[in-house]
Amino acid sequence: INIPGTNSTATSMLPARTLVFAGAFTATYPLLLVGSVARAIYLRATLGMPSNILSTGTYMGWSFGEKHLADQHYVSQMLYSKPFNEALLRKALFSLCAEDGIKESEIELVFKDEVPQDWPKNAKGQITGSFAMHHFLPESVQPGGQ
């Protein structure tokens, strides 16, 4: 293998470095896993509901400069291939939002009658993991992106 910037020492030390990494990972991963599970159980037992544990949603003030926006915790889009009980979903959503102090008048739950498009594909015809938010329901987007 001729990789610019390498030398015989770097190439010969690769197996040893790989073994050291594998050993360190094997030793630390179980410890960190137990610690994180213990912390999750502790927080759930002492603080209660997830809305109390994650009081600022995904926008942590200490890392993003207090950019927390009310009612904008977990933006999502759900697409279903079959109809479902809309009244039951609406009731469950309102109940969940009430736990976080969000009023029903501030909740937008829209049911589109549009048939979703298939997964997006790249130029080679392969399914890609990234796509525009309105890809599945393009008719739902107003002109100008609203």
Q: Which residues have CB under 8 Å from 72's CB, separation 6+?
A: 57, 59
Selection from 40-49, 82-91, 130-139 with the highest mean pLDDT:
40-49
For the question of whether the overall pTM of this predicted structure is more than 0.75, the answer is: no
3-state secondary structure of 116: coil
Q: Above pLDDT 90, what percent of the chain? A: 28
Biggest CA-to-CA distance, the chain: 68
